A and B are shown apart, each in its own frame.
Chain A
Amino acid sequence: MSNPSESSPSATCCASSNATAAFLILRLFLGLRAFLSGLEKFESGGTYSFENYGKTMARIANGITGASFLPSWATKAFAMPLGYIFLALGIMLLLGVKTRCALILLALVWVGLGFGLMAVQSDEGAVWIGTYVGLTVGALLLVRHNRFALLPDRS
C-alpha cells in the first residue's frame, strides 16, 4: 500500500527537471546580463577600448559623487573594477564556474549599485536594480538544481 503523502518517483523527477531547466534559463539570463553590463562599459560610438572604459567609469563615479553624499574615493573604488567584475561573473555564470559563489557576488554587486542609485535618489534606477537582485536571489534558491556546469560548487 502506498503512502498518499509521498510523491510518486515520476512526479519528483519531473519537478526536479523543471527546476533544473528554470535555473539554467535564469543562469543564462543573469550570465548574459552581467557579461554585457561589463562589455558595454568599453563601448563608445560603436568601438571598444580601454580608453572608453576609463572615461565611462570615471563619469559614472563622478556622477554619483556629484549627486550624492558618497565620497569620490568610494565611488571610484567601486566603479573602476566594476566592468571587469561584471565580465568575470558573467563568464562564470555562462560556463557554470562556481555558480553559487558567482551568484552571491553578483547579488552583492547589484546591491552596491542599488545603494549608489538610492544615494542619488534615482527611484527608477533602484527599482531596476531591485529586479536584478530579485532574479539573482531566485537563482540562489534554485542553485542546487545546477547542471551543465564546468566547475560545480562543492556540495
Chain B
Amino acid sequence: MSESTTQSSVTRRSFLSSGTRLGAVVLASPYLANAQAPAGTGGTQALNVGVIGTGAQGRVLLNAALKIPDIRFKAVCDIWNENRTYGERLLKKFGHDVKPFEDYREMLSSVPELDAVIVATPDWYHAEHTNAALKAGKHVYCEKLMSNTIEGARSMVKTARETGKLLQIGHQRRSNPRYLFARDQLVRHYKILGRITNINALWNRSVSDDLTWTARNEIPKATLEKYGYDDMHQFRNWRWFKKYSGGPISDLGAHQIDVFNWMLGSNPVNVMAGGGVDYYKNHEWYDNVMAIYEFHTAAGPVRAFYEVLTTTSAGGGYHESFMGDEGTLKMSENPKYTKVYREARAPEWEHFVKEGVLTKPGAGEEGAAAPSLPWEKEFKPKFTLAPPRASVVDVRETAALSAWNIPVVLDKAIHQPHLENFFDAIRKGTPLTCPGEQGFASAVTVLKVNEAVQARKMLTMKPDDFIV
C-alpha cells in the first residue's frame, strides 16, 4: 500500500435544509464524518481493489467506488465478456490499470497485491467467491443477500474469523447518514416515536420483461456449464431461479428487512408468510410475497409486515415505516418517500425544529402549510382549528398526523458511504456497519420467509439461529 495525499473532491457543504443548519450539523456530524470521503490530506492509504461480478449491481458499486479517493482498481472479473469488457473499459477510462479475468481463481493468484475484493456476483456464488478471497488474504465487500443458503452465509462468517480479514455485507442503508441519524438520534436518543409497536414496509415494482442477450454476446454452452448455469436465460435472469437466488424477498426485501433488525436492535422470534408464482410463467421464485414477523424488544412486542410485489408498482415505491405510539418514521433510500409523522397525542415537536432534529416541510411538500395566495402575507404563523364534525367520516377516526422532515440528506451515490465505511475499516480500523455476523442474522431473517411460504405455517426462530 502506498501513501497518497489526494484531496477529496467531495465537499462537506450543505446537506441540510435551511433554518436548522447549526443544530443539525452538531447532531449529524458523526454520520457526516462517516459518510464523507476521507480528505486524504493526512496521507490516506491507497488500496488495491479487485471486483468479481460487473453486472448491474457490480456497475453500481464501481461507479460509487470511483468517487472515493485513493482506491486503485487492479482487476476485474466476470464470466460474461459483455460485463467484463464494460467494467474494464469503465475503470480504464478513469485511469485504473486493470487486468480482466474470467475466472476468479486466476484473478486472486495473478494479482497478489490486492488488498480488497468486491463481490457482486449472483447470490449462489457469494460464499464461494468470498471465502476464496478471504483465504487469499483479501478483505471482502460482498453484496447482499449474503448467500442464498444459510449454510453458505455461515461459512463466510467462519472464514472471515479464521482469516482475520474484514467482511462487509452490502446492506448499504446501515451507512446512509440519514438512516443513521434517524435511528441514533430520532428513535434512540430523542425517542420521538414513543414505543414502536409496528413496522410496515414494501417494495412494489410493475411487471417487467426478462433480461435478454444477443447471439453475438451469448456465452458458450460449455462456459455456462463450467460455471454451473443451466442456460443463458437462467444466467441472465438468475434472480428468478431457486438454484441461484432467494427471489424477490431476497433481492429487494433483504435491504428493508435488514433495516427492521438494525433499527430495533433485535431479531424476530417468528414469521408467517404467503406468496406464490402468481403471474410469471417461466419463473421459479415467488413473484409476490407478504410476510409478518414478530419481534420481542426490550420495550415490548413489535409486529412487522413486509410485502414485495413484482406485478404492480402501486403502494408508493419502496419504504419502511416504523410506527410508534407517538410518531411514525417513514424511511427510504429515496428522500421523497422519507417523512416523520407526529401523532396528535404526542408531546409538541416544535422544539425539535429549533434544536435541528427535524425540519418543517417546504412549499409543495407533504405536510407543508397551505400556500399563501399571491396577495396574502407569506408564512403566517400556523394555527388550525379542529376539523368540523361533518368532515370526519367516522367518529372513531383519530386526528390526522402532522408531517415533518429529517434534516440529513445523502448527497452522493447511495452505496458510496457503505463502501467508504468498508475502506475506512481497512485503513483506520473503524467498525464496519454491516459485518458478516450481522449480515448472517439478516440472511436468516430473510430466507426464513421463503421457508414459511413453502411450509404454509408460522416458523419460530431461536436466538441461536442468528448466531454463527
- Does chain A have a CB within 8 A of B373? yes
The answer on a CB contact under 8 Å between B375 and A67 is yes
- The total of Cβ contacts below 8 Å across the A-B interface reads 30
Contact mask for chain A residues 30-61; partner B; CB cutoff 8 A; 1 contact, 0 none:
00000000001100111000000000100110
**Complex Cα gap A66–B373 (Å):** 11
- Does chain A have a CB within 8 A of B377? yes
The answer on a CB contact under 8 Å between B379 and A44 is yes
Residues of A close to B380: CB separation below 8 A: 40
Contact mask for chain B residues 279-319; partner A; CB cutoff 8 A; 1 contact, 0 none:
00000000000000000000000000000000000000000
Least CB distance from A72 to B in Å reads: 13
Interface residues of B in 370-389 (CB under 8 A from A): 373-381
**Complex Cα gap A117–B374 (Å):** 12
The CB with the most chain A CB atoms within 10 A, among B374, B376, B381, is that of B374
The answer on a CB contact under 8 Å between A45 and B377 is no
The answer on a CB contact under 8 Å between A66 and B374 is yes
The answer on a CB contact under 8 Å between B375 and A60 is yes
- Does chain B have a CB within 8 A of A120? yes
The answer on a CB contact under 8 Å between A63 and B379 is no
Least CB distance from A46 to B in Å reads: 8
Interface residues of A in 113-155 (CB under 8 A from B): 116-117, 120, 122
Least CB distance from B416 to A in Å reads: 35
- Does chain B have a CB within 8 A of A62? yes
Least CB distance from B247 to A in Å reads: 52
Least CB distance from B359 to A in Å reads: 14
Interface residues of A in 51-97 (CB under 8 A from B): 56, 59-60, 62-64, 66-67
The answer on a CB contact under 8 Å between A56 and B378 is yes
Residues of B close to A40: CB separation below 8 A: 377, 380
Residues of B close to A45: CB separation below 8 A: 379
**Complex Cα gap A66–B380 (Å):** 21
The answer on a CB contact under 8 Å between B373 and A62 is no
Q: Which residue of B lies closest to A40 (CB)?
A: B377
Least CB distance from A52 to B in Å reads: 9
Which of the residues A41, A46, A56, A63 comes within 8 Å of B373, measured between beta carbons?
A: A63
Least CB distance from A43 to B in Å reads: 8
**Complex Cα gap A46–B353 (Å):** 14
Residues of A close to B376: CB separation below 8 A: 60, 63
**Complex Cα gap A46–B373 (Å):** 20
Residues of B close to A117: CB separation below 8 A: 375
Q: Which residue of B lies closest to A55 (CB)?
A: B378
**Complex Cα gap A30–B375 (Å):** 23
Q: Which residue of B lies closest to A119 (CB)?
A: B375
Residues of A close to B374: CB separation below 8 A: 59, 62-63, 66-67
**Complex Cα gap A116–B381 (Å):** 23
**Complex Cα gap A66–B374 (Å):** 8
Least CB distance from A126 to B in Å reads: 12
Least CB distance from A135 to B in Å reads: 21
Residues of B close to A67: CB separation below 8 A: 374-375
Least CB distance from A40 to B in Å reads: 7
The answer on a CB contact under 8 Å between A120 and B379 is no
The CB with the most chain A CB atoms within 10 A, among B374, B375, B376, B378, is that of B375
The answer on a CB contact under 8 Å between A120 and B378 is no
Q: Which residue of A lies closest to B374 (CB)?
A: A63
**Complex Cα gap A59–B371 (Å):** 14
Which of the residues B375, B377, B378 comes within 8 Å of A116, measured between beta carbons?
A: B375
**Complex Cα gap A56–B383 (Å):** 20
Least CB distance from B298 to A in Å reads: 40
**Complex Cα gap A122–B377 (Å):** 15
The answer on a CB contact under 8 Å between A59 and B373 is no
**Complex Cα gap A146–B62 (Å):** 82
**Complex Cα gap A45–B375 (Å):** 18
**Complex Cα gap A113–B381 (Å):** 22
Least CB distance from B353 to A in Å reads: 12
**Complex Cα gap A62–B378 (Å):** 13
**Complex Cα gap A56–B380 (Å):** 11
Q: Which residue of B lies closest to A65 (CB)?
A: B375
**Complex Cα gap A41–B375 (Å):** 13
Q: Which residue of B lies closest to A122 (CB)?
A: B373
**Complex Cα gap A62–B381 (Å):** 22
Residues of B close to A122: CB separation below 8 A: 373, 375
CB-defined A-B contacts under 8 Å, sample of 29: A40-B377, A40-B380, A41-B377, A44-B378, A44-B379, A45-B379, A46-B381, A56-B377, A56-B378, A59-B374, A59-B375, A59-B377, A59-B378, A60-B375, A60-B376, A60-B377, A62-B374, A63-B373, A63-B374, A63-B375, A63-B376, A64-B375, A66-B374, A67-B374, A67-B375, A116-B375, A120-B375, A122-B373, A122-B375
Please name 11 further chain A to chain B contacts, defined as beta carbons within 8 Å, in addition to the given A59-B374, A63-B376, sorted by A numbering: A44-B379, A45-B379, A46-B381, A56-B377, A56-B378, A59-B375, A60-B376, A63-B375, A66-B374, A117-B375, A122-B375
